[in-house]
């Protein structure tokens, strides 16, 4: 298999929430969805983009001077701002910045390069029942890379987990399933129109792909983000529980993921507004209540904070 490459934005070692055991998680860049609550907005664009981490900026204005598009402004009041309509992500402001405030988010990495990083922790994976997870962004947007990386992991005896929104051509899913041990598959909303309103697309392709995955032999974990005033009602959770139950034994767990605002700072470094700035995370009591809805359907449900 060729040494495939993919646009990545992070490779994190020692992750504990992206599959069983201790894992490494490879984050691929690019996502066709526009979820209002997205905690990884830097994952959405399929190409590298410049970000600014203002905490270290010394206001030297070098970036302003070198930018050929006159896209950067620096002031005491607002710190660094980039006019994204003018910026073409050329990256010319990154190296001259003396404090590493300006950074490029996203780079092409080969399977060899990623595997060299993730294989370092084989001992941890083996001792904890862990392995390697590919997340995003939407990893099924770059299926050849995922297939090649997972095949490489299997040759080395490493467990593989794919964390997907399910919104991708079915052929992409079919391509990676033979090398996928565990599928983390999101269900956000069952209603197609509401899905369009909050996610940017309908959910029919996602539901079709879920059906395909359920017949593949992969273990499936359904992941449900719990979103205030969007899907946190009993009726919404009941419809998701019914759907999860209908898939039968491939579904081993349902994970409920309470909405949080931890990604807010990432919108700032991208000069973007966070659409759910004012939303309040669900209470622990409400999460426990929603969990009982899944348990009534004999599904093993966990709240993941
Ligand atoms: S990436 Fe290029 S266009 Fe964008 S702010 Fe930096 S120098 Fe200017
Ligand atoms: S070059 Fe770097 S340190 Fe200087 S003003 Fe720009 S972002 Fe700040």
Tokens of 247: 């898939």
pLDDT of residue 1: 65
Rounded mean pLDDT for each run of 10 residues along the chain, 305 residues in total:
89 95 98 94 95 95 97 94 97 97 97 97 96 97 98 97 98 97 97 96 96 91 97 97 92 94 91 93 97 96 93
pLDDT of residue 268: 93
DSSP 76-95: TTTEEEE-TTT-----TTTT
In the block, which residue shows the tokens 């040759």? Answer: 155
Domains recognised in the chain with CATH numbers: 5-45+107-303 (3.20.20.70), 49-105 (3.30.70.20)
CB atoms within 10 A of CB 15: 16
Looking at ligand 2, which atom is closest to the CA of residue 72? Answer: 6
pLDDT of residue 252: 86
Looking at ligand 1, which atom is closest to the CA of residue 88? Answer: 3
- Of 22, 15, 18, which is closest to residue 304 (Cα–Cα)? 18
pLDDT of residue 250: 84
Indicate the pTM of the whole model.
Answer: 0.93
| pLDDT tens string 224-246 | 999 999 999 999 999 999 999 99
Residue with CA nearest ligand 2 atom 2: 97
pLDDT of residue 61: 96
Peptide bond between residue 137 and the one before it cis (omega within 30 degrees of 0): yes
DSSP 198-264: HHSS-SHHHHHHHHHHHTTT-EEEEEEEE-TTTT-SHHHHHHHHHHHHHT-TTEEEEEEEE---TTH
**CA 60 to ligand 1 center in whole angstroms:** 16
Ligand 1-lining residues (CB < 6 angstroms): 50, 67, 69, 71-72, 82, 87-93
To test the ligand 2 pocket, which listed residue (102, 103, 104) has its Cβ within 8 A of the most ligand atoms?
Answer: 102
pLDDT of residue 218: 86
Q: What is the torsional sign of CA 89, 90, 91, 97?
A: negative
Residue with CA nearest ligand 1 atom 3: 87
205: Cα within 13 Å, side-chain hemisphere? 16
């Amino acid at each position: 298999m060729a040494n495939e490459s993919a646009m990545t934005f992070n490779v994190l070692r020692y992750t504990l929430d992206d599959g069983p055991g201790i894992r490494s998680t490879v984050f691929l860049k690019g996502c066709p969805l526009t979820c209002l609550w997205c905690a990884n907005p830097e994952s959405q664009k399929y190409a590298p983009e410049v970000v600014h981490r203002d905490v270290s900026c010394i206001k030297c204005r070098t970036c302003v001077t070198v930018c050929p598009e006159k896209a950067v402004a620096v002031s005491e009041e607002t710190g660094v701002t980039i006019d994204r309509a003018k910026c073409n992500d050329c990256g010319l402001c990154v190296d001259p910045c003396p404090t590493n405030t300006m950074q490029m988010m996203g780079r092409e990495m080969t399977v060899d390069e990623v595997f060299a990083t993730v294989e370092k922790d084989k001992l941890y994976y083996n001792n904890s029942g862990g392995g390697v997870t590919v997340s995003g962004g939407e990893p099924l947007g770059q299926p050849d890379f995922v297939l090649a990386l997972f095949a490489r992991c299997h040759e080395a005896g490493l467990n593989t987990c794919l964390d997907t929104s399910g919104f991708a051509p079915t052929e992409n899913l079919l391509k990676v399933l033979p090398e996928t041990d565990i599928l983390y598959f999101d269900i956000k909303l069952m209603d197609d129109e509401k899905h369009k309103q909050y996610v940017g697309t309908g959910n029919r392709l996602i539901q079709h792909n879920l059906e395909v995955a359920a017949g593949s032999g992969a273990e499936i974990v359904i992941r449900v983000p719990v979103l205030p005033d969007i899907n946190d009602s009993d009726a919404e959770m009941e419809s998701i529980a019914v759907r999860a139950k209908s898939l039968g034994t491939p579904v081993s767990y349902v994970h409920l993921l309470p909405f949080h605002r931890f990604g807010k700072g990432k919108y700032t470094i991208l000069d973007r507004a966070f659409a759910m700035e004012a939303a309040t995370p669900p209470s622990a009591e409400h999460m426990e209540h929603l969990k009982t809805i899944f348990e009534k359907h004999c599904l093993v449900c966990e709240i993941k904070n």
